[in-house]
Every structure is written in C-alpha cells, then in structure tokens.
Amino acid sequence: MVPENPFRLIHELKGAPLAVLITLSLVRQPVTKEWLERTTGYTDKPVSQALAYLTENGLALGTQAGWQLTESARGLPLFQTPQAEPDGSPRPVRRAYHDRA
C-alpha cells in the first residue's frame, strides 16, 4: 500500500519513521531492530512503532535476516537520482504537484 503521491509521504513521515526509512535506504541490506535503534538514536518503542507503520504502509519488511525496504519502497522517487535535462540542468518539478492543496 505504498502511497501514489510521494508528497503525502513528506507530510506523514517524520521523526522515527523517517529516520528508519532513510537508514534502511542507505544500508541496503537486512538489519536488526537493535541496529536501527543504535544507528538512528531512537529507543525501542519509537523504532518498533516506526517499523510497524512502515510495514503497514508497504515500505518495510521484517524477515529472519532482519529489516529492509520493500521493492516498492525502493521505487519511490525519494530514493532515485533526479534526471537531468539534455543540457545537464535539473529537470523541473511537474506543476501538478505544486497546485495540490
């Protein structure tokens, strides 16, 4: 259930869920909850709640090997390199996202 609008994630993800999501995107291998606690600086309860939220929204997956991002989460624009125009300048953000309330 990954949100169709990535800007919705910006509104919803903050604190421990955002820290865990970014950490999982950087490590790119399964890690333990305890490792996430040490790495993010959050304690047991916030990390557990973050993992529950991310799992519920189809962004993280817990296995015997540890926690990792789902393939759907890896496909989010948050974790992709922005494409450039042929002249090398950054591609502008589509106007449709700016007009939404």
Q: What pLDDT does 12 receive?
A: 80
How many Å is the Cα radius of gyration of the chain?
A: 15
* pTM of this structure: 0.71
Q: Total domain count for the chain? A: 1
Which CATH number does the domain housing residue 69 bear?
1.10.10.10
Is 85 part of any domain? no
Mean pLDDT in residue range 32-55 = 97
20: containing domain: 6-79+90-99
Q: Is the pLDDT of residue 29 over 50?
A: yes
CA–CA dist 81, 83 (Å, integer): 6
CB 43 within 8 A of CB 50: no
- For the chain, helix (H) and strand (E) counts, in that order, are 6, 2
Residue 59 token pair: 């962004």
Is 51 part of any domain? yes
State pLDDT tens for residues 64-82: 999 999 988 887 766 655 5
